[in-house]
Amino acid sequence: MQPFELVVAIMIADLASVPMSDTGIPITNGIIPILALLLIQLIISIINLKSIKGRQIICGMPAILIYRGKIDEKVMKKEKFTINELQERLRQNNVFNIGDVEYAILETSGQLTVIQKPEKRNTIPEDFGILPEYEGIPYDLVIDGKVMNENLKAIGRDYNWLVKQVEKFKIKPEEALVVTFDGKGQIFCQEKEGKK
């Protein structure tokens, strides 16, 4: 959430609570300012989309706290960020040694993006010249005993096919807590506890 969005959300909550708490105040006294705030928020969003300078003024710019492995003290002071806060945010990103960080960027949302040094990053299949098989997304076929017919259609299957697949687990689809089907054609099935 951007800073202006947070301010708008707090102001809307405050404006909505006034007519609700005092029955003597007409409801329009809360609705009109809320609509005005929503209009202002819409205008600000349009400015953000259309103007880079406007976006920088309204939302701010990311700040690079660690640049090429070195902590930038000036930026840390400007952002009022302590070393302890930096270490805490790095730990939240599963980085436990400041020396392992190539770049640390404080985003406008307040999140810290961490890019580790190349030798400290986790390896990926591309590092070994391996091309993994396509996995796709898993589809929920049954959730809490309810068959998801739309998802069955999406994978080109029907209820009879589902019954045959779930029979391998010695249950019926309606007795399953969850049944999923992934891109490799594997089925995960777990039955509900206390099924009759």
Q: What is the CATH number of the domain that holds 76?
A: 3.30.240.20
Domain count, the chain: 3
DSSP string for residues in 90-156: HHHTT---GGGEEEEEE-TTS-EEEEE-GGGSPP-GGGGT--PPP----EEEEETTEE-HHHHHHTT
Residue with tokens 């019926």: 172
Query: With the CA atoms of 99, 100, 102 and 103 taken in that order, what torsion angle do they form, in degrees rounded to the nearest 10?
Result: -90
pLDDT confidence of residue 85: 94
In a domain, 12, yes or no: yes
pLDDT at 161: 95
Per-residue pLDDT reduced to its tens digit, 135-167: 788 899 999 999 999 999 999 999 999 999 999
Q: Which domain holds residue 41?
A: 3-59
Question: What digits encode the pLDDT tens for the residues 78-89?
Answer: 999 999 999 999
- Residue 133 in any domain: the answer is no
Residue 119, φ and ψ in degrees, nearest 5: -75, -10
Are 7 and 52 within one domain? yes
Enter the pTM of the model: 0.60
- List CB contacts of 101: < 8 A, sequence separation 6 or more: 66, 69, 90, 95, 114, 115, 116, 117
How many other CB atoms are found less than 10 A from the CB of residue 128? 7
User: What rounded mean pLDDT belongs to the chain?
Assistant: 88
The pLDDT value given to residue 21: 78
DSSP β-ladder status, 101-106 and 112-116? antiparallel
70 and 39 assigned to the same domain: no
Residue 5 is predicted with a pLDDT of 74
Q: Which residues of the chain have pLDDT under 50?
A: none
